Amino acid sequence: METNVKRETLCENVGENGNSSEEFFCCKICDINFEGEANLNTHNSLTHDSQQPKNSRNFICDICELSFKRKSSILKHIKDQHSTTEFIKAREITEMPMPPESCDICKKQFDGKTNLNKHLRDDHGQKIPRFRRHKSDIVAEHFCDVCGKGFTRKFDMQKHRKLKHPNDPKPESKPTEQQKTSQLLKRCQVPCGDNKNYYKCEVCGRLFRQSYNFIRHQTVHTGVRAFFCHICGKNFRVSGGLHRHITEHHYGVKKYHCDICGRGFAAKATRDDHKNIHTNHRPFICDICGKAFRQKASLHIHKLFHSDNYRFSCSVCGKKFRRASELKVHSWLHTGHKPHQCKICEARFRLSQDLKRHVKIHDKLNECVCTECGSTFSQERYLKNHKKTHIVKTPASFVVSPP
How do residues 111-143 score in pLDDT, each as one tens digit? 778 888 888 888 888 887 776 767 766 778 888
For residues 22 and 379, what is the distance between their CA atoms, to the nearest angstrom?
A: 127
Output the pLDDT for position 373: 83
Output the pLDDT for position 4: 34
Output the pLDDT for position 52: 47
Name residues of the chain where pLDDT drops below 70: 1-24, 29-30, 35-39, 41-59, 64-65, 67-70, 79, 82-99, 131, 133, 136-137, 364-367, 378, 392-403
Alpha-carbon distances of 399 from 379, 393, 402, rounded to whole Å: 43, 19, 9
Output the pLDDT for position 12: 42
Output the pLDDT for position 395: 52
pTM of this prediction? Answer: 0.37
* Residue whose C-alpha is closest to residue 53's, from 71, 69, 70, 32: 69
**DSSP for residue 341:** E
Output the pLDDT for position 19: 43
Adjacent-strand bridge partners of 21:
none
Q: What is the pLDDT of residues 64-90, one digit of tens each?
A: 667 666 677 777 777 677 665 565 565
Output the pLDDT for position 160: 92
Are the beta carbons of 293 and 280 closer than 8 angstroms?
no
- Chain-centroid distance of CA 259 in Å reads 41
For residues 207 and 195, what is the distance between their CA atoms, to the nearest angstrom?
A: 15
Q: What is the pLDDT of residues 273-309, one digit of tens each?
A: 888 889 888 888 988 898 998 888 888 888 888 878 7
**DSSP for residue 56:** G
Neighbours of 199 (CB within 10 A): 22
| DSSP string for 115-141 | HHHHHHHHHS---PPPP---GGG----
Output the pLDDT for position 362: 75
Q: What is the pLDDT of residues 318-339, one digit of tens each?
A: 888 887 888 888 989 899 899 8
